[in-house]
Amino acid sequence: MLAAQATPESRLQAWQVLLGGICALVLTIGLARFAYTPLLPRMHAQAGLGVADGGLLAAINYAGYMSGALLAAWIESPVWRQRLYSWGLPLALVITALMGWSTSFGVWAVSRYVGGLCGAAGMLLGSGLVQGWLMRSGRRPELGLYFIGLGLGIVVSALGAMGMTRLALGWAAQWQGFALLGLAFLVPAWAWRPPVPPPVVKSSAGAAPNRRWMALMVAAYFCAGWGFVINATFTVAIVEKQPLLAGQGPWAWLLVGLAATPAVFVWDRIARRTGDVGALLVAFGLQIVGVLLPVLVGGLAAALTGALLYGATFIGIVSLTLALVGRRSPANPGKAMARLTLSYRIAQVSAPALTGRMVEASGSFDAALWLTAAVLAVGMLALAGLLREPR
């Protein structure tokens, strides 16, 4: 039987598809997006980038991601989905290098916008292609292992920034260094791309989620997006802004990645015991604690504990949500993920820009963090509504 199925898909091993996807996430999210977080303070100090403009660039990045999500939700062709995913891999390196080639805000904005498109390719098209391959291969369609790439991307961006800072490299040289580092991840990501999925037979595609279920999930994921982007954009800056903690920001970002990398396995295990929605409620609750710790307690220990909780929870929220909606839409998991992600990205476009203005006006992150905790609490209410919906 195995010999009779000698297709391009059967020649790929599961570890190759997953490792290629992990490397793609490091490229398209870890470098094209997450490198911005540890470099943000250096761009403030060396390139004249203001706090509000820094938040605006983050919002532009998420606008690019949202555009990519709209495109992913619209495209039906498996060939084009795989093609756009492939294009996003080398382009992620180009726009990373572009950040260091100019001091023009316009150039930075273009880089951040196109970086968002690349992120959508890796996160949505890539996860859909990988999950579809897993389901067709008869394997458990969980995406926890795939999303190790998010945590690993944070670790790579944190260690890269710390190492290049020790070498006394400026902000522009560090962007170039990240682009060169990305070559090591481009090779396996390109070589082990999931193949073009076969056409779907509509009669066997399965039912889509009902509208109320999807509306509640969209609301919850919007709130998750708000919590994610505030931490992803300002974690380093929040730590650096506290008295006596100057220079400790990159350590907080490293802890986020170290917590996120193994957490995917933990959340998959929790979900098997409590169900996906139950695990999501736990993750939201812990993230609220992590958001408020720097406000209520203060000090390095609270800031680093908050970073750990953020890293351990955001990865679970993303992997559990996308895997859940993908399993409920087996005909085209990536398209369903893209539609859900639009709400996530709307939050990520508005939240950093608003936060940057709030911080400049008040001189503190406290009000923004309280607002973030309140938004996450609303997300928990939406998730609680899902428990009353039929499976």
Q: Look up the CATH number of the domain holding residue 96.
A: 1.20.1250.20
How far is Cα 151 from Cα 314, in angstroms, rounded to an integer? Answer: 10
Residue 4 lies in a domain: no
How far is Cα 72 from Cα 118, in angstroms, rounded to an integer? Answer: 12
The model's pLDDT over 19-78, given as tens digits with 9 standing for 90+, comes to 999 999 999 999 998 899 889 888 988 988 887 888 889 888 878 988 888 888 788 788
Asked whether the CA dihedral 240, 245, 246, 251 is positive or negative, the reply is negative
Residue 138 lies in a domain: yes
Asked whether the CA dihedral 311, 317, 318, 320 is positive or negative, the reply is positive
Residue 6 lies in a domain: no
Half-sphere exposure of 332 (CA within 13 A, CB side): 20
CB atoms within 10 A of CB 336: 25
Q: Provide the 8-state DSSP code for 3.
A: G
- List average pLDDT for each run of 10 residues in the chain, which is 391 residues long: 40 84 94 88 87 84 85 84 93 94 92 93 86 72 75 88 88 94 95 79 56 88 86 68 62 79 85 91 94 82 82 88 79 72 77 75 79 93 85 53
Residue 204 lies in a domain: no
Q: State which residues form the domain around 114.
A: 14-196+209-386
Contacts 24+ apart (CB under 8 A), 283-286: 283/313, 283/316, 283/317, 283/320, 284/220, 284/223, 284/224, 284/227, 284/313, 284/317, 284/376, 284/379, 284/380, 284/383, 285/380, 286/312, 286/313
What was the pLDDT predicted at 71?
A: 87
What was the pLDDT predicted at 1?
A: 32
Query: 233, 245, 221: which is closest to 355 by C-alpha?
Result: 233
In sequence order, the 6+-apart residues with CB closer than 8 A to the CB of 161 are 35, 38, 39, 174, 250, 253
How far is Cα 62 from Cα 353, in angstroms, rounded to an integer? Answer: 11
What was the pLDDT predicted at 233?
A: 64
In sequence order, the 6+-apart residues with CB closer than 8 A to the CB of 163 are none
SS3 category, 247? coil
Longest dimension (CA), the chain: 67
CB distance 175 to 100 below 8 Å: yes
Total structural domains within the chain: 1
Query: 231, 375, 220, 222: which is closest to 314 by C-alpha?
Result: 231
Residue 3 lies in a domain: no
Residue 167 lies in a domain: yes
**226: which 2 tokens?**
């708000």
**20: which 2 tokens?**
């290629």
**116: which 2 tokens?**
């968002």
**1: which 2 tokens?**
């039987």
What angle (nearest 5°) sits at the alpha carbon of residue 57, between those of residues 55 and 63? Answer: 105
Residue 5 lies in a domain: no
What was the pLDDT predicted at 21?
A: 92
What was the pLDDT predicted at 238?
A: 67
CB distance 53 to 105 below 8 Å: yes
How far is Cα 197 from Cα 79, in angstroms, rounded to an integer? Answer: 8
How far is Cα 93 from Cα 176, in angstroms, rounded to an integer? Answer: 9
CB distance 114 to 48 below 8 Å: no
How far is Cα 247 from Cα 249, in angstroms, rounded to an integer? Answer: 6
Residue 2 lies in a domain: no
